[in-house]
Amino acid sequence: MTREAVAEISSVSLDLLKTKMAEFAKERNWDRFHSPRNLLLAMVGEVGELSEIFQWRGEVPKGLPGWEEEEKVHLGEELSDVLLYLVRLSHVCGIDLGKAALRKLQLNAIKYPPPSAAAAANNNYSNTNNGATNTEKLEQKAASILN
């Protein structure tokens, strides 16, 4: 692999994916299929395939301990399929996805100001504790509203 390819991989941009998806569609004469709602439904289809990977597993810890390499590769493919249709959908809608995402991060930061360091420290709790405190419940609601 060339040095350029490595550099590319280490910082894949949304614009790069947008360009590659546009070329891919154009070369295959598939632009005519890529209307907004077609792409949205295609993305929903991919979200379904992604969900299937997680559906019978019960809770899955971070880092996916115990998953076989093959399963992780498959997961990467389904995550990618969602991303690629999302990038393409944004493109045909004329939305600059990267710009919109940075703006949304700023809005979220305003909506949910971080607690002070002291408050955050007090808020530490053990994961083995089954009962959620009131503070945690409020935070769960806050996190929920974020969506």
User: Footprint of a copy of itself on residues 111-140 (CB under 8 A)?
Assistant: 112, 114-115, 120, 123-125, 127, 139-140
Decide if residue 2 touches a copy of itself (CB under 8 A).
no
27 binds a copy of itself, rule: CB under 8 A: yes
Task: Write out the DSSP string of 53-117.
Answer: HHTTS-S--TT-TT--HHHHHHHHHHHHHHHHHHHHHHHHHT--HHHHHHHHHHHHHHHSPPPPH
Q: At which residue do the structure tokens 């399929």 appear? A: 81
Complex with a copy of itself: residue 2 or 56, whichever CB lies closer:
56
The dihedral through the CA atoms of 57, 59, 65, 69 has a sign that is positive
Q: Give the footprint of a copy of itself on residues 44-63 (CB under 8 A).
A: 44-52, 54-63
Q: Which two tokens stand for residue 81?
A: 């399929």
The minimum distance between CB 48 and a copy of itself, in angstroms, equals: 1
Using the rule CB under 8 A, which residue among 1, 7, 69, 107 binds a copy of itself? 107
